[in-house]
Chain A
Amino acid sequence: MKSLNRRNFLKSGLAGGALATFLGREKPAQAREFSGYTNKGTGVLVDLSRCVGCRSCEAACNREQNLPEPDVPFDDFSIFDTERHGGLKRRTSEGVFTVVNRYNPEELDHPLFRKFQCNHCEEPACLTSCFVNAYTKTPEGAVMYNPKVCVGCRNCMIACPFYVPAYSYSKPLNPIVEKCIMCYPTRLKFGKPPACVEACPTEALTFGSRVNVLKFAKERIRQHPEIFVDHVYGEKEVGGTAWLYISPVDFKKIGFDMNLGHQPIINYVKSFLATVPMVLTIWPALFAGFYRLANRKDGLKKDNNEGAREESQS
């Protein structure tokens, strides 16, 4: 997988930089352009025009992932009126891996529902930001999290552009990050669709290889320009995500962030990462040089105003 190679490249770049310091030798800098993804792995297409807000997916997820009892039953639709701090709609949280929110865009005479969970990015920000490598992207496309090594710094929550990972703050002893894992251990691994996909009565969720569901998305838009806006959310956003969305109204109006850009998040950090080997290799020589220079001056001046402490130390 190309994206994996890329991560390895970054790693080896840093490791190489560190090594170079020890060896005192500089490695030639190499810049490799990132040229798209291989699109292996599975994906899910969320067709917002089909979702009826029945919350079956939430129920199925709760069962499949053994999540704790929800505040209200999954057939209680008053939950759509919940407002969080700042008038925000519900989000994923500890014990809730997926939520369905209701929106009322003015151009439609009926509400629109939006299911939302981890998007299983092709180049996940959570993964690249984790300093103990707790995240992995499986070949099937799921972004997995390993609670055994997580230290709890919550950098992944800072990094995730979709505000997905949640932290179980309430646990004093082993708080962990909780998020959708695309049902990998129980289903995806065996080629089965995620539980929420299977439970969706209207097939608002379509499971398949990411390449295929992306084609479906485009085909549906092509066939029904009167229904859909011409955009597949997740095709390119932050480098592409395994979960894709098509919508009858402007994505902005139903809570999607349209300003994320097409770069994977790690690209924003690259300019800094690139300086690391540079500093590691150039600084020692540079400052050793300064030292020589300064001391030469010292020697010439035969420094006579050395402090008392200097004597005391010698």
Chain B
Amino acid sequence: MKAFLKWFFTYITAFFFIFYFFQSASGLESTPPEGLKVDQSQEDAPAPKVHIHDLMPQVVVLDSMANLYEAVEFDHEMHAVEVGCAKCHHHIVEHTDQTCTIHNVVDQTNDPFCARCHKGWFPGSLDKAKCKDCHSPDRFTADYLNKIEKDKDIYHRDNIGLMGAYHNQCMRCHVEEGIGGCQDCHVRTETGDKEFRADAGASGATKKSSEDGH
């Protein structure tokens, strides 16, 4: 409960700040029709005083594969400090000086494809820094599939699901760092051991089920 309240207040504060900056920016700038600004506004607007690191989650618990693997406590803060935000949050611009603000999170995108439409603007607000707002945790449920098959208004139909998004982001670096094995991050449960037939071949009986007669 305490944790919840803490997050709740953090988010409220965050909302407030975003609201504030949008207000002040547009006020200063006589609003270009596209609503796109960015660098200029950054200079003009009073620098935000709240550091993003104070607003983001410290730990994210990933438990969607809980039957095969125990939940992973993802050290969000460590990753943010060590590798920066944009490495994973691919729609924002990295600030090398580690002083990026909420403002930056929603303001800009460094993905050239996203930027074609979304430059300087991302729908909603800070919420959109959350992976699952674009990457559905239910990518292959009937509902989701039906929606992208039938609903003509949806533009982004091929958004990778949440689990896929995570793994694609994580594995890029983890493989390079040599910690690319599943169990380097995930502790396998008993069901997981069974799924992967961890005891297979242990009986010593030589079988040839996976090869032909040669």
Contact = CB atoms under 8 A, between A and B. Distances in A.
A70 B201 contact: yes
B164 A50 contact: yes
Interface in A169-195: 169, 191-193
A197 B214 CA distance: 31
Interface string B113-154: 100000000000000000000000001101001001100000
Contacts of B212: 84-85, 91, 93
B209 A59 contact: no
Nearest to B174: A52
B199 A206 contact: no
B35 to A, nearest CB: 25
Interface residues of B, number: 38
A87 B209 CA distance: 18
Nearest to B165: A203
Given A52-B175, A202-B168, A208-B149, A216 B199 contact: no
A19 B197 CA distance: 56
B22 to A, nearest CB: 30
B9 interface: no
> B140, B149, B157, B165 — which one has the most chain A CB atoms within 10 A of its CB?
B140
Nearest to B168: A202
A200 B168 CA distance: 11
B167 to A, nearest CB: 4
Secondary structure at the B interface, as helix, strand, loop or mixed, is loop
Contacts of B49: none
B113 A223 contact: yes
Interface string B172-208: 0001000010110000000000011111110000111
B113 A216 contact: no
Contact of B145 (A201, A207, A215, A219): A207
Contacts of B198: 73, 75
Interface range on chain A: under 10, 10 to 19, 20 to 34, or 35 or more?
Answer: 35 or more
Contact of A193 (B140, B165, B197, B213): B140
Contacts of B139: 203
A84 B214 contact: yes
A219 B180 CA distance: 28
B145 A203 contact: no
Interface stretch (A8-16, A60-68, A280-288): A60-68
A207 B196 CA distance: 23
B140 A207 contact: yes
B171 A70 contact: no
A96 B200 CA distance: 14
B97 interface: no
A223 to B, nearest CB: 6
A72 interface: yes
A70 B168 contact: no
Nearest to B135: A203
A220 interface: yes
A110 interface: yes
Contacts of A73: 196-201
Nearest to B207: A71
> B160, B163, B175, B196 — which one has the most chain A CB atoms within 10 A of its CB?
B196
Interface string A24-47: 000000000000000000000000
A94 B175 contact: no
Nearest to A94: B209
Contact of B142 (A70, A75, A192): A192
A3 interface: no
Given A73-B198, A99-B210, A203-B139, 12 more contacts: A52-B180, A71-B211, A73-B200, A74-B195, A93-B211, A110-B175, A201-B163, A201-B182, A203-B164, A208-B145, A212-B149, A219-B158
Interface of B: 65, 113, 139-140, 142, 145, 148-149, 157-158, 160-161, 163-165, 167-168, 171, 175, 180, 182-183, 195-201, 206-214
12 contacts: A56-B182, A59-B197, A69-B201, A71-B208, A74-B196, A75-B182, A90-B210, A206-B158, A209-B149, A212-B149, A216-B158, A219-B158
Closest 9 CB pairs of A and B: A203-B164, A85-B214, A95-B209, A216-B158, A193-B140, A74-B196, A202-B167, A201-B167, A191-B142
